[in-house]
Amino acid sequence: MPWLVNQNLVTSQVAIGFVTIVVSTVGYNATEKVMQLIDQKSDNFKRDILINLSAPVIALIFTILVCNLIDKKAAIIISIIAYILSCCLWWFQNRNNKHFDSSPSSTLGGDI
């Protein structure tokens, strides 16, 4: 693998890339969900708000952990786990999103 000059450098860049995606998606999704919850005023309003506001805090903890372990192989493993969890969180938060029901096109683009 001649294109891999320094494996630690590449691993750390990938770990930072994953963590950057995690922080941006979790922060945005949590904020959007909180705004939806404010409009809906559900029965479990306080619990749902607390859960959605704790998600960015957990993402920040993952970020700090990855930055502290950036020279070790654990950084890439933790960042991949955080990325997978952020994708699961997105699916969980958007399971009842009415905006996806009214989409006139398919997920690949164009009409169905």
Instruction: List for the chain the helix, strand, coil content (%; round to 5).
Output: 70, 0, 30
**Considering the entire predicted model, what is its pTM?**
0.67
Give pLDDT, residue 60. Answer: 83
Walking along the chain (112 residues) 10 residues at a time, the average pLDDT comes out as 53 81 84 78 76 82 80 80 85 72 60 53
**How many angstroms separate the most distant Cα atoms in the chain?**
58
* Cβ atoms < 10 Å from Cβ of 101: 7
Give pLDDT, residue 75. Answer: 80
On whether the CB atoms of residues 83 and 22 are closer than 8 A, the answer is yes
Q: How far apart are CA 83 and CA 18, in angstroms?
A: 6
